[in-house]
Amino acid sequence: MVAQAATFAVLQQPALSAAKAARAVLLGLARAGERLVAVGERGIVLLSDDFGMTWRQARVPVSVSLTAVQFVDAEQGWAVGHLGVVLHTEDGGETWHKQLDGERAAALAALSKIATAGYNEGNFKWYELIPNDGALGAVQTRAPRELFNQGCSMLSLYVYLSDHKADTLNRVVQASEKFISEHQVPEVKFMLAAGSAGIEAATNIVVKKSMYEMLFWVYGAVSLLCLLTFRSWRATLCAMLPLMLTSILCEALMVGLGMGVKVATLPVIALGVGIGIDYALYVLSVILARMRAGDTLAQAYYQALLFTGKVVLLTGMTLAVAVSTWAFSPIKFQADMGILLAFMFSVNMLGALILLPALAWLLLPQKVFAKKPEASLLVEWVKEG
């Protein structure tokens, strides 16, 4: 694990600018027009515009040792290094970009280029696909069978990723789709990735699409039922806005904890809406009933706290404390569910008890009933006292 972490560190850490970079160990040299470009250890790339008299350091996104550099013209160039790093420049070596973002790829075409160069004393001038069937066949017959099938009707491209995060998978999918759109020919059919990374990428695409569709139907159904029950769009907004805020905060929590939206966490958002609306209904129904009886909003809220508020508080705390114990589970799925459910139960409870009355004060008219109260329960209680 320590070695793996160190590998990821040099792939993600840019090369440091050093005053004595010109004295570093250099492993490769190339010419980009009238400019000399040298590469070396710790991701150092040096540039010279006066035939080597003075050197300056270029910006490089990795700190892994670079072993070779090659330019096809004065602007376009590539550098390769340890851990399968391939860097690309489009401005003569001033700035470099990770062509594979630290991931490594293996394909029959790349193997053919490497083998052809190897058969010619390692000369990079032979690092090409020779337009000759015999030359290609001599190399490709020795290739592993994982790269092509026996009938030579399918070629595979293996991409070795540094991680399976959504950003990494999306980057690979976008690069693949861009290549397919630019190089589509009738004789060749390109297909997106398989394997564990490909399946996860496809799952992420479906989950992202399903999440918004699920939220639309869940909130649509709950809003419709609230509208039919309360017969008031203002009351419906009072009940729905705290739920929407909870969903947004839940997604923010997932990002902060590095969970991400996946098949396991997607139902939790819907579950939080289903339980959270119960809290809102318990409080709002009493508030509306007391206001219809003639109480002011403050008096109605007080009666709601006495009647259903204590139940909402007890239920929310009980559920939150109970599921929060799952966070200590060695099973990651159960631990994630415990954190998310405890958060949603708690925030929904607070939203129903605190945010909902505040929204009611803003949205509900203070005098909506023609009938005037004879006396509210609070006034009667004060008189009796």
Most confident segment among 110-114, 193-197, 248-252? 248-252
pLDDT range class, residue 20, cuts 50, 70, 90:
low
Task: Give me the mean pLDDT over the 129-135 stretch.
Answer: 72
Higher pLDDT, 167 or 352: 352
pLDDT range class, residue 269, cuts 50, 70, 90:
confident
pLDDT per residue as tens digits for the range 303-359: 888 888 888 899 889 989 998 898 898 888 888 888 888 888 898 899 889 888 888
Note whether 42 and 49 are within 8 A (CB).
Answer: no
The pLDDT value recorded for residue 2 is 33
Task: Give me the mean pLDDT over the 209-230 stretch.
Answer: 86
- Centroid of chain to Cα 327: 22
Report the topology of domain 211-384. Multidrug efflux transporter AcrB transmembrane fold (1.20.1640)
Considering the chain, tell me which residue range(s) the CATH 1.20.1640.10 domain(s) occupy: 211-384
Task: Give me the mean pLDDT over the 272-276 stretch.
Answer: 77
The pLDDT value recorded for residue 224 is 92
The pLDDT value recorded for residue 8 is 43
Task: Give me the mean pLDDT over the 186-198 stretch.
Answer: 79
Q: What CATH number does the domain located at 2-102 have?
A: 2.40.10
Q: Nearest-CA neighbor of 194 among 179, 224, 172?
A: 172
The pLDDT value recorded for residue 325 is 92
Higher pLDDT, 317 or 368: 317
pLDDT range class, residue 143, cuts 50, 70, 90:
low
pLDDT per residue as tens digits for the range 171-183: 888 888 888 888 8
Amino acid at 51: F
- What DSSP state is assigned to residue 373? P
Helix, strand or coil for residue 52?
A: coil
Amino acid at 129: L
Q: How far apart are CA 349 and CA 117, in angstroms?
A: 68
The pLDDT value recorded for residue 1 is 35
- Centroid of chain to Cα 44: 31
pLDDT per residue as tens digits for the range 149-165: 666 667 777 777 777 77
The answer for residues whose C-beta is within 8 angstroms of residue 243's C-beta and 6 or more apart is 219, 222, 272, 273, 276, 277, 280, 348, 351
Considering the chain, tell me which residue range(s) the CATH 2.40.10 domain(s) occupy: 2-102
- Residue 131 dihedral angles phi and psi, to the nearest 5°: -75, 60
pTM, entire model: 0.54
Instruction: Find the DSSP H helices in 183-257.
Output: 195-230, 233-256
Higher pLDDT, 365 or 372: 365
